[in-house]
Structure 1
Amino acid sequence: MAMFLLANGLNVEANAAVSLALFHTLFNALAAVLVLPFIPQLAKLVARLFRSVEEDTAGSRHLDPTLVNTPT
């Protein structure tokens, strides 16, 4: 449908290989457009799922707690 309209608009011969390439391109473009609004949620999910041990145990182990009370 849209592939044939696009093939006609580009003046390309609509054989099987061209139709398949156009379908694949349109499918990927549509999938990218549908996923775009969910990028922030996907980024949070990936960051939460793939944390390293260093990130989980990171902290201020070598700072002296009395430094907070020391004036500049």
Structure 2
Amino acid sequence: MRLNYLEYKIEPKESSLWETYGENDSVITDPASVISKGYSAFRDVYLNEQNVKINVGRFRETLVQAMKLIAR
């Protein structure tokens, strides 16, 4: 069984963090600053607090790529 990884990078507005922290907060503009505070800070914000609402229009190309891989 072959596995393929298809990357989809969310836009900031697709994250619930956009509404929680605002567009100018370092959580949105500088994730490295949160990561530099350690795994616990990273986990609390990006894994525990965040929900993602995928923009289906943007995600479409990823789905098309997946369908092409399945068709092989």
Per the normalisation by structure 1, the TM-score is 0.26
Higher fraction of helix: 1
Larger Rg over CA atoms: 1
Higher relative contact order (CA 8 A, sep 6+): 2
